[in-house]
């Protein structure tokens, strides 16, 4: 873990804490993993600690259970990354589309005669309100929590 994540990484320190508590104080690994899952607050860690606890109590193949749990968590992380990649593309499109009305407004202003009356101001304010609402709605659509 030190080579992969560095000596100052949170996971490295946690594993050192778990190993030292197991070696020096004789605390069972399942209890240390349960404590780590509570402190981390992560669902995947809680799930892993629960599976490890059950398999060690029932005398199952702990190595197989750990491999399967690791594979499930890896698949979940891979799916989350794919979803984030797709959402990022959509978010970028939304931002480009948000800028386009402003560009079009500047271009049409340069071609206009410069007259401003109450109707023009009212239409522009109405269009601005629709634009702000559409942008807000678009951000809600692309804001996907995984």
pLDDT (tens digit per residue) in 122-143: 888 898 899 889 889 988 888 7
* Domains identified in the chain, total number: 2
Among residues 76, 74, 68, 75, the alpha carbon closest in space to that of 52 is found at: 68
Interhelix angle 62-111/43-58, rounded to 10 degrees, is 170
> Domain range spanning residue 119?
83-146
Q: Are residues 89 and 137 in the same domain?
A: yes
- Answer whether residue 121 is part of any domain: yes
Task: Report CA torsion sign: 126, 127, 133, 136.
Answer: negative
pTM for this entry:
0.55
Would you say residue 65 lies in a domain?
no
**14 in a domain, yes or no?**
yes
Whether residue 55 contacts residue 62, with contact meaning beta carbons closer than 8 Å, is answered with yes
By C-alpha distance, which of 18, 36, 41 is closest to 28? 18
Render pLDDT for 45-69 as a digit per residue (tens, 0 to 9). Answer: 888 888 888 887 777 777 887 888 8
Q: How far is CA 102 from the centre of its chain?
A: 31
Alpha-carbon gap, residue 137 to 143, rounded angstroms? 10
């Amino acid at each position: 873990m030190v080579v992969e994540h560095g000596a100052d990484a949170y996971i490295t320190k946690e594993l050192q804490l778990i190993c030292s508590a197991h070696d020096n104080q004789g605390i069972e690994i399942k209890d240390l993993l349960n404590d780590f899952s509570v402190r981390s607050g992560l669902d995947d860690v809680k799930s892993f600690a629960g599976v490890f606890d059950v398999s060690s109590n029932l005398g199952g193949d702990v190595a197989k259970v750990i491999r399967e749990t690791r594979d499930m968590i890896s698949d979940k992380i891979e799916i989350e990354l794919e979803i984030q990649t797709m959402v990022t593309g959509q978010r970028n499109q939304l931002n480009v589309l948000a800028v386009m009305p402003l560009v079009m407004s500047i271009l049409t202003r340069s071609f206009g005669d410069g007259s401003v009356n109450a109707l023009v101001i009212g239409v522009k304010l109405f269009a601005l309100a629709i634009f702000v609402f559409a942008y807000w709605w678009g951000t809600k659509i692309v804001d996907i929590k995984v």
